[in-house]
A and B are shown apart, each in its own frame.
Chain A
Amino acid sequence: MPDSLLFGTEVLLNGLMAGVLYALVALGFVLIFKASGIFNYAQGVMALFAALTLVGIMEGQVPFSHLINAAFGTDIHHFGWHVPALVAIIITMVVMVFLAWAVNHFVMRHLVNQEPIILFMATIGLAYFLEGFGDLMWGSDIKKLDVGLPQGGSFWIEENTQWLGFGNENFYGFFLDKLDLVATVIAAILVAALVIFAQYTKQGRAMRAVADDHQAALSVGISLNFIWIMVWSVAGFVALVAGIMWGAKSGVQFSLSLIALKALPVLMLGGFTSIPGAIVGGLIIGVGEKLFEFAIGPYIGGATENWFAYVLALIFLVFRPQGLFGEKIIERV
């Protein structure tokens, strides 16, 4: 088989995997938008905060240790224990639920029925607060995240796809990252669970009702506080999963919050209100940007992925302004 076809296929497969990782970030945005009509600018920072908290708990780090030491002249940094990954993930989830409660209690409940732009501005404030709070709580230095996920290319896939080259010496099997494969499985489970939750459970239906109209939902007895805390908690869980996957690649550090940039074109393409849309959008963006970089990148200096993702999203927007799976909004006057 010709090199370009083999390598193009490899790029396509890796694009699909990258798309899943983008979709993991986009899912958090979709959940909150679906339930409250808020574009949560803080979603990327939530992923960072969740990952910081997870590593901090696993390593037995004393939260706010710098602050405590500065105030009391002590020199404490660690509790001296290590917490197993699974237990640490559960404790982190509890922290994220508490964060959801705090966001609702101190910010969102005061903004019921406000314009979407006001709610958006509130999440910008929340992002900056959480960024500083995370630094203060766990420190700014880079942290290795090891929850036991496999890393590196899969030997098995490489060996068992080598025959596809039909003797082509330049081809030695497809490269697929084991971490990406795990992320794909986790994303598939997550999406299935979230779709079932949103479509077939009482709380899911209540969540959608709140998204349509806060006051109408209140009038039929839906607790806005409960729904918002629930949704922010679920978004916190999705942020934790995204934080683990991305943090395993680069270590846990401030830059993790920038993964939100990768989610924006996915949302534009898939729609802000569709969970499957986030996945399909992620896959299209992932494959599109990787294939473009592979085929066209070398002729125009490379590094095309960031901007091409947005170009691709904008092309889709021309034909489907609400995104591929977004709800068509018809407003009558």
Chain B
Amino acid sequence: MKLKLATWATAALMTASPVLADLVMPSLSFRTGPYAVGGIPLADGYADYFTMVNERDGGIGGVPVRVLECETGYNTEKGVECYESTKGEGSLLYQPFSTGITYQLIPKVSADGIALHTMGYGRTSAANGKVFSNVFNFPANYWDAASVAINYLLDENGGDISGKKIALVYHNSAYGKEPIRTLEKLSEKHGFELLLLAVDHPGQEQKSQWLQIRREKPDNVLMWGWGVMNQVAVQEAANIRYPMENFIGAWWSGAEADVLPAGDAANGYKALTMNGVGKDFPIYDDLQKYVYDAGLAAGAGNQTGTVLYSRTIYAGFLAHMAILKAQEMHGVADITQAMMVDGMENLEITDAMMEKYGVAGMGPEFSVSCENHGGPGLGAVTQWDASAGVWNQITDFKVSDKSIIDPLILEDSMAFAAENNIAERCN
């Protein structure tokens, strides 16, 4: 009898209590481990963006956002564990900031019907929405980055880089090898010589590679590095007195942490970016008012305005817009995982939206479609000013060479579809 009463009482209480809905945004962070230097600003930016949205707007469409952080240590197995342990909470969108974790999550999110956003990393051919239904890599991917770098060199050299020697110093991993095929195609098209120099993980010892650069005297050096490899490469380049203005890193090799250890010697080093850098965006006023001044900043609160922090502010903004789109499409505020996929696939970013949310100029205008999950493929070039301690954007966002990249994306994605028996969609 007592048990029955207790059961009824519990049931009555549950019926009476309002359902506390929230929009769950998992954050697969890596605040520890060898890549913590990059992971901390990424995690802080994402958390601070949604804290600001909650404090300023009361959530999105009236529903508060709950950032669910799970520490991966940049370890792929832990990343998968984090995914498995958080997906049941109604997680709307995963952004692991790790190519290794991305590759493991692609089949899982496709089976579970959850959206995965890998901006500027992960599997490049996921840009083909006909094959990768749940994976999005807008606004740009690795191959766009390689092409944007070559386009920049073309601009610098009056449109002709034939006969030039360009070296690629790359992390000897799936990530580091990503741009090679694109660069090989571009080298055939533009007639430059490509010199490939692999650096083994973690990249603390690169003397051989930089001695070779000293011997070969390439006109430009491109770098696809991550973590300690970046800092050592910048220092080694300074050691051999390689002209820093001819040294261009990918967008994962262009943060403050990558150049600070080399001090003044890093002055002039360039890097690609997919997002605007610096704090000169109105959104930082809101972050100051609603997050920093309120003592709600994530982590130590010392990453504000850094390149990687701004990148996840931008990532947070894109996710925010996708949620709004999903809410608008389905007419409900408390959206489901499937609705979020719809929001991502129908996302349209306009200048007016960026202006309204205080991120004007932080990225380009673009739209996503069922076929195109990769966005416009725009990138810009930034340069490190060591005396001021800031990255300056020195070009506008410029388009990549789609005549080279699109066929590569199609070829790779169709091979994936054939291997995994995936039927084309969007027809």
Residues of A bordering B, CB below 8 Å: 3, 7, 10-11, 14, 17-18, 66, 77, 131-132, 135, 139-142, 144-146, 151-153, 170, 175, 177, 246, 249-251, 253-255, 258-259, 262, 290, 293-294, 297, 301-303, 305-307
Q: How far is the CB of A216 from chain B (nearest CB, A)?
A: 41
Q: Which of B31, B207, B231, B238 contacts A14 (CB 8 A)?
A: B207
Q: Decide if A144 touches B208 in the complex (CB within 8 Å).
A: no
Check B34 for interface membership: any CB of A closer than 8 A: yes
Q: Decide if B33 touches A254 in the complex (CB within 8 Å).
A: yes
Please tell me which stretch of B195-203, B246-254, B400-408 contacts chain A, meaning at least 4 of its Cβ atoms lie within 8 angstroms of it: B195-203
Check B107 for interface membership: any CB of A closer than 8 A: no
Q: Decide if A258 touches B204 in the complex (CB within 8 Å).
A: yes
Q: Which residues between 135 and 185 of chain B lie within 8 Å of chain A, taking CB atoms?
A: 172
| Range class of the B interface residue count | 35 or more
Residues of B bordering A, CB below 8 Å: 31-34, 36-37, 40, 172, 196-202, 204-205, 207-209, 211-212, 214-215, 227-228, 231-232, 235, 238-241, 257, 260-261, 263, 265, 300, 302
Q: How far is the CB of B215 from chain A (nearest CB, A)?
A: 6
A18-B205, A175-B214, A297-B208 given. 13 additional CB < 8 A pairs?
Answer: A11-B211, A131-B32, A135-B32, A140-B40, A141-B257, A141-B300, A151-B265, A152-B238, A153-B240, A175-B211, A253-B228, A253-B257, A254-B36
Q: Decide if B260 touches A142 in the complex (CB within 8 Å).
A: yes
| Chain B residue nearest to A258 in the complex (CB) | B202
Q: When A140-B37, A142-B260 are in contact, do A255 and B198 touch as well, CB less than 8 Å?
A: no
Q: Decide if B227 touches A255 in the complex (CB within 8 Å).
A: yes
Q: Decide if B198 touches A7 in the complex (CB within 8 Å).
A: no
Q: Decide if B238 touches A290 in the complex (CB within 8 Å).
A: no
Q: Which residues of B contact A170 (CB under 8 A)?
A: 215
Interchain residue pairs A-B with the least CB separation, the first 6: A251-B261, A303-B198, A255-B228, A303-B172, A302-B198, A306-B200
Q: Which residues of B contact A301 (CB under 8 A)?
A: 198
Q: Decide if A142 touches B261 in the complex (CB within 8 Å).
A: yes
Q: Which of A140, A152, A262 contacts B32 (CB 8 A)?
A: A140
Distance in angstroms between the alpha carbons of A131 and B31 in the assembled complex: 13
Q: Which residues of B contact A7 (CB under 8 A)?
A: 211, 215
Q: Decide if B241 touches A152 in the complex (CB within 8 Å).
A: yes
Q: Which of A141, A146, A151 contacts B235 (CB 8 A)?
A: A151
Q: Which residues of A contact B228 (CB under 8 A)?
A: 250, 253, 255, 258
Q: Which residues of A contact B32 (CB under 8 A)?
A: 131-132, 135, 140, 254
Distance in angstroms between the alpha carbons of A144 and B235 in the assembled complex: 12
Q: Which residues of B contact A246 (CB under 8 A)?
A: 204
Q: When A139-B300, A306-B200 are in contact, do A144 and B260 touch as well, CB less than 8 Å?
A: yes
Q: Which residues of A contact B302 (CB under 8 A)?
A: 77, 141
Q: Which residues of B contact A175 (CB under 8 A)?
A: 211, 214, 240
| Chain B residue nearest to A3 in the complex (CB) | B215
Distance in angstroms between the alpha carbons of A77 and B300 in the assembled complex: 10
Which of A10, A152, A246 lies at the interface centre, i.e. has the most chain B CB atoms within 10 A of its CB?
A152
Q: Decide if B204 touches A177 in the complex (CB within 8 Å).
A: no
| Chain A residue nearest to B217 in the complex (CB) | A170
Q: Decide if B215 touches A250 in the complex (CB within 8 Å).
A: no
Distance in angstroms between the alpha carbons of A144 and B389 in the assembled complex: 13
Q: Which of B36, B215, B227 contacts A140 (CB 8 A)?
A: B36
Distance in angstroms between the alpha carbons of A301 and B168 in the assembled complex: 13
Q: Which residues of B contact A251 (CB under 8 A)?
A: 231, 257, 260-261
Q: Decide if B260 touches A18 in the complex (CB within 8 Å).
A: no
Which of B207, B209, B231 lies at the interface centre, i.e. has the most chain A CB atoms within 10 A of its CB?
B207
Distance in angstroms between the alpha carbons of A164 and B232 in the assembled complex: 30
21 chain-A/chain-B pairs, Cβ below 8 angstroms: A11-B208, A135-B32, A140-B31, A140-B32, A141-B302, A144-B260, A151-B265, A152-B265, A153-B241, A175-B211, A249-B231, A249-B232, A251-B261, A253-B36, A253-B37, A253-B228, A254-B32, A254-B34, A255-B204, A294-B211, A302-B172
Which of B205, B227, B231, B261 lies at the interface centre, i.e. has the most chain A CB atoms within 10 A of its CB?
B205
Q: Decide if B207 touches A303 in the complex (CB within 8 Å).
A: no
Q: Decide if A250 touches B235 in the complex (CB within 8 Å).
A: yes
Q: When A11-B211, A144-B261 are in contact, do A255 and B239 touch as well, CB less than 8 Å?
A: no
Q: How far is the CB of B228 from chain A (nearest CB, A)?
A: 4
Q: Which residues of A contact B215 (CB under 8 A)?
A: 3, 7, 170
